[in-house]
Structure 1
Amino acid sequence: MEITEKVKTGLKKEISGSVTEKNTAIAMKSGTLPVYATPAMMALMEQAAAELVQEYLPEGWTSVGIAMSVAHTSASPVGMKVRAEAKITAVDGRKISYEVTAFDQSGEIGRGTHERFAVNEEKFMKKTNSKK
């Protein structure tokens, strides 16, 4: 499958959410303060990237995350709205590279890179389930 026909550099997707008690560092066991957890921010970034590429993949295909490098640079309190943006920066065969950025209502809170790999769902799950 040649994904470069539809998946192009420069494509962007933004999604939003909010800081709740469920995604604080305390709740996610990644810290002791009631602030937006780094794993929650990274998940929002990854969700934006996954949803972006899914729009362009053929039926029966999806993408899986293979790498993420992110700095969480500013804390966000409970109740604040947050959003993440994913932008495709490179396509190398079935590997898609992204710039990911997260914001709260006061500005940027995190930035980094993410990589995903396009896979045939059936083949991927067959290989994965063979580990049992």
Structure 2
Amino acid sequence: MLDVKDFVKQGEEVTITKVVGPEDTVGTSSTHLQQLLSTNACINIMIKTAVEMVDPKLPPGYITVGRYWETTHHAPVLMGSTVNFKITLDKIDSNRLLFSMTGWDDTGEFCRAKHERVVINKDKLMDKVRERATR
């Protein structure tokens, strides 16, 4: 069995800074909120960052897949604002990776999240996909 701790280390963290653009807003989901950072954009930033933190370090044939997500988006952020996201690999439990995220801007924290990813063999995943598709 693959020992994930040989490839990634608990406590690793990445901080992302970006300016909220139109692609990061609620957009067409709500015309009343189209100038605000969307929760989906926060989630996408965290997932993308978690994948980039881990997947390139794994041996060939292994990837991570998302298993669990929990988020609180507790303050609005306007388009054009500079925001920061800190993503931390808090725990490695066998093939389970537990991440936390905090998002903040000049006025303080606006979101928190927890995310679990699982390290798997890509070929075995695709075998299960094909098996399930033929049922």
Fold in common (TM above 0.5):
yes
The share of aligned pairs that are identical, in percent, is 27
Q: Which range moved further: 115-124 or 15-24?
A: 15-24
**5+ residue gaps, structure 1:** none
Question: Within 5 Å, which residues of 2 pair with 1:2-81?
Answer: 2-27=3-28, 29=29, 32-33=32-33, 34-81=35-82
Change (3 A) 1:46 1:94: same
Q: Deviations over 1:48-102 (max 9, x none)?
A: 2121112421122111111111111221111122232211111111000011112
Q: Which range moved further: 97-106 or 38-47?
A: 97-106
Higher Rg of the two aligned structures = 2
Q: Distance in 2 between matches of 1:32 and 1:65?
A: 31
Structure 1 runs (4+) greater than 3 angstroms displaced: none
**TM-score normalised by L of structure 1:** 0.86
Q: Distance in 2 between matches of 1:41 and 1:97?
A: 17
**TM-score normalised by L of structure 2:** 0.84
Change (3 A) 1:58 1:88: same
Q: Distance in 2 between matches of 1:67 and 1:8?
A: 20
Describe the SS at the equivalent of 1:131: helix
Describe the SS at the equivalent of 2:16: strand
Change (3 A) 1:130 1:96: same
Q: For residue 101 of structure 2, what is the aligned residue in structure 1? A: 100
- The answer on whether the counterparts of 1:72 and 1:109 sit within 8 Å (CA) in structure 2 is yes
Q: For residue 127 of structure 1, what is the aligned residue in structure 2? A: 128
**Structure 1 letter corresponding to 2:88:** K
**5+ residue gaps, structure 2:** none
Give the superposed CA RMSD: 1.9
Q: Distance in 1 between matches of 2:61 and 2:3?
A: 14
